[in-house]
Amino acid sequence: MVKYINFIVSDMTALRYFVPLVIEGNERGFKSRFFIVPVPAKHNCSSKHRNQLNSVLKEYNIEEFNINKINDHPDPTFIVEGVGLNYIDASKGHKIFSISYMTDFNLLYDKYVNKVDGIIFPSEPVAQHYAKNGPKNLYLGSPKYDAKLDEEDILKKYDIPDLNNILVVLPKIRDLNATHSGFTGNQLLIKSAMAAKSSGLRTLYKARRKDRIQLPPNWGELCTYMYFEDEFWYPHTTMELMKVSRLVINFSSTTIKECTMLGVPVVNFDIKPLVRHGKNFGEHRVGFSFLYESDFCRQLKPDISAEELAAVIEEMISTDWTASFSKTRKKYLFEGNSSKRILDHLGVR
């Protein structure tokens, strides 16, 4: 007898969380259904990336439905941060599980907690840090990190010559243009480029598509570089580029979680503003701030020189941080395959 798992797909970002669960379900003899939500033409909407979505549907043998069919199939249903709940008729008997996304739950959790059967968190310490403890929380990890990442395949896919790379996760344009302790974000990029070059490393720049930047024509004089945007949704471009890099230069983004899970050391410049989108973020100005306290992360001030930064880079890439990564994952996040734990918890066997 064929059994099913449902997924409500409101945008391509959801694939990072859903596909690993689909793969695990396939291995257990379950079939998956994607219920597609029509959305405005955002940068990550499925209509703009239809070819990639079709490829995923075919590769993993996923059935596709319009969201208006969701109530015809009351099977275990996964959503991300409560998105899609408005389409579900609670009387039909769905078991609904919401997966937490980055730190969005800090603002959204209370809106959907009473409408779902379970909320999947990376860990209890994460929920405690954001004061989002509750009886519906399931501390099972995050399926996003179950993606299989092969270095050789990634190098070939992006035409990157080798593994001697530094990944610069570009901040929002807002933060690049702002001044921080007398230096702009753009000046920090120049320093990091010069430092990478002196260390003999290639710089991989990764920007979000909605925050794309245009590097000056003479940027190649500062460093050897390649520039990327959100080209692939599963596996996600940022995680793939991280996998083939020896270090990440970050600007206090939640990418610190990916660095921790994939075991890539971090140099961080804290340039996040306190007030964003008209909201004062207070103690949660920087997402997953506790991860920045780890040994594998070096917090630097904007006034550091390119020479000093190069010395820090050399130290970070020449040190074995394996024990530090494992310690931090066990203390704050998780280790092992989350998709297996999630489907085991749901009784999908």
Amino acid 2: pLDDT: 58
Q: Are residues 133 and 235 in the same domain?
A: no
CATH number of the domain bearing residue 56: 3.40.50.2000
Residue 304: which domain range? 151-332
Amino acid 74: pLDDT: 92
Q: Are residues 105 and 157 in the same domain?
A: no
pLDDT in tens, 210-229: 888 889 999 999 999 999 99
pLDDT in tens, 38-49: 877 777 888 888
Q: Are residues 174 and 121 in the same domain?
A: no
Q: Are residues 127 and 253 in the same domain?
A: no
Q: Are residues 44 and 136 in the same domain?
A: yes
pTM as predicted: 0.94
Considering its fold, how many domains does the chain have in total?
2
Q: Are residues 342 and 277 in the same domain?
A: no
Q: Are residues 181 and 135 in the same domain?
A: no
pLDDT in tens, 127-158: 999 999 999 999 999 999 999 999 999 999 99
- Amino acid letter, 336: G
Q: Are residues 324 and 227 in the same domain?
A: yes
Q: Are residues 216 and 117 in the same domain?
A: no
Q: Are residues 232 and 179 in the same domain?
A: yes
Q: Are residues 86 and 180 in the same domain?
A: no
Q: Are residues 278 and 200 in the same domain?
A: yes
